[in-house]
Amino acid sequence: MEVPAGTFLSFEMMLQDLEADDVATTVDPGADISAQIAAEVAAAKLAYLPVSLQRDVQKDAHAFLFGEELDDPEEEDGAEAWKPQRVQFVSLRSNGLFPNLPNRARVNPRPQPKPQPKKRAKQQQTGRAISQLEEQPQDHSRASPHPRVVPTRKSRWEMLSTEMQARIRSTGFELGWDMARHGMPMPDDLGRMVPEFAEGWGAAHEHFGARTVKPDTYTRKWLTVRGSALRRNRIFDSEVTPAFLRSVAMPHCPVMRTPLAYGTKLADRDDRLIWSVDRLNNNAGYVVGNVLILSERANKAKGNHGFRELQAMAQLAQDASDGMHEGLTVLEWSRLAYLAALVCRDVSWREIAKLPMRVFLPPSVTISDPLPGIQWKLSALPETHRSPEEGTAYLLKLFPSKHLQRAVRLLVEAFYLAVDADESDDEERPHRWVVEDAWENPVVQTYWHKLIDVMSDDDKASLVHNTGLTRVNDAQWSEAAGLRSRGFVQ
């Protein structure tokens, strides 16, 4: 089919780029099929041209098909301006004209704008509404006599009483003074959190100048832990001093049994050797009876986990192929679980009492049940009383009930035998490790469980007075440790 020379160039290009599959159905069916296809393809391509050219192309196509000029509606009076029409496409295959052509998908000549997400559209709508409200003049004459009060969330500092705020200010000033007195730099975060800390540090720095006291390892740790407690709003008892930390320091970590480096600079900073101050009960503050020295790795592993969680960690280590979980062995996780059991109040006392004493604690530690205190006293017998008879006579004084004395005799005899059966060749092995390993002996555990099974609640209550464990369930100590507030200053 030839195209007249006067036809618009774009119309000629449309006929050459003929796609017989996409046509419209707006031309007379009786017309020549070639002219129909050409006109429909031209109408299809027309939608993709600029608006300024669509009218010229349509006029050329009309003159080619019908031999007459197309009137321009813009020249008629009252006629509306011409607007481009949207063309819908169908398939010639569905009309039966070209059955062998592939059936292509329906084409929309005008791509629709991408719909905006509902959230973005809502934000824009809200922004327009706010802009309209800001532009409107405010009529304060009709304001409500009862304005709406918007509640604001109080900070932790505002929730404290006036007495506690004064206590924190005083603590911050004293800590700043002590740090400057020992020549330690001022932490910027503490100065911003508690302005009195910066005031105390500045006052001491001006007072002492260069006449500072070089702190030892216990004093430096004491100041560092006090700063950590102040950041977290934790209770820190005045009885916890550098001298106290020195008295509870252990040569080895009670959990990992690694030597602790006190005052020694470590080149590789091994967290198994660095000593740290831990709270035995995470729901209490830094008070005497709740402070324990552990290695940094054991302290981080313990974290805020409870007794059940640490038992689950020990089970994971046992199921592992290498017997390790997060850097600790099965026995090390079991020792941490035992420490958590000493202050656990959510588990029955019989279940806790049946645990073997895996950590030989110092007598200054406060526990929630007297039976671990009995374990401690039994563990000290081989060193203080050489013969089993002497140890048995001493321990029977704590159990006046006759139905318990036979179980006590069997337990003491089995424990002495377990200690003597230690086959370690290490002469420098601490005696506390020998005692702890003796509790893993199955015979010792059997007789200890029998003693717990025959013990009544009244027998357990009498042990508090007989063992001299005055800090067990002591109300005054619980108040000082802040058990009600979970160790926070209130």
Spell out the domain ranges in the chain: 9-95, 368-473
Is residue 65 within 8 Å of residue 35, measured between CB atoms? yes
Helix (H, G, I), strand (E, B) or coil at 279: strand
How far apart are alpha carbons 179 and 200 in whole angstroms? 9
Angle at 403 between CA 399 and CA 404, to 5 degrees: 40
pLDDT at position 317: 94
Q: Which two tokens stand for residue 365?
A: 């530690």
User: How many residues can be counted in the chain?
Assistant: 490
* Pairwise CA distance, residues 54 & 72, whole Å: 13
**Which residues have a Cβ under 8 Å from the Cβ of 180 and sit 6 or more positions away?**
186, 200, 201, 202, 203, 204, 205, 208, 212
User: What is the H or E stretch that residue 291 is in?
Assistant: strand 291-295
**Residue-level pLDDT at 123:** 56
- Antiparallel, parallel or unpaired: β 324-325 and 291-295: unpaired
| Alpha-carbon distance values, 221 to 93, 192, 244, 278, 488 (Å) | 88, 22, 12, 12, 21
Angle between helices 307-319 and 330-341 (to 10 degrees): 170
Distance CA 422, CA 440 (A): 12
> What pLDDT was estimated at residue 127?
58
CB 293 within 8 A of CB 260: yes
What is d(CA 126, CA 190) in angstroms, rounded to the nearest whole number?
42
Neighbouring residues of 274: CB distance < 8 A, sequence distance ≥ 6: 260, 261, 266, 295, 296
Helix or strand holding residue 391 (H, E): helix 388-396
DSSP annotation of 89 reads -
- Give residue for tokens 């003796």: 438
Give me the pLDDT at residue 11, please.
43
Structure-block tokens of residue 272 = 């198994």
Contacts for 478 with CB less than 8 Å, ≥ 6 apart: 484
Contact 452, 353 (CB under 8 A): yes
Neighbours of 261 (CB within 10 A): 15
Determine the angle formed by the axes of helices 51-66 and 33-46, rounding to 10 degrees: 170
Specify burial of residue 195 (Cβ count, 10 A radius: 0-12, 13-18, 19+). middle
Q: What angle do CA 242, 272, 248 make, to 5 degrees?
A: 25
CA 361 to chain centre: 31
Q: Which residues contact 422 (CB under 8 A, 6 or more apart)?
A: 434, 437, 438
Cα angle for residues 463, 466, 470 (degrees, 5° grid): 85
Q: Report residue 391 as tokens.
A: 């140890």
Angle at 151 (CA atoms; ends 149, 155), nearest 5 degrees: 145
pTM: predicted TM-score of the whole model, two decimal places: 0.65
**CB contact at 8 A, 371 and 399:** no
Which residue ranges in the chain fall short of pLDDT 70?
1-160, 264-268, 363, 423-426, 464-474
Q: What are phi and psi of 23, to 5 degrees?
A: -140, 165
Return the half-sphere exposure (C-beta side, CA atoms, 13 A cut-off) of residue 1: 18
The pairing of strands 275-279 and 90-91 is: unpaired
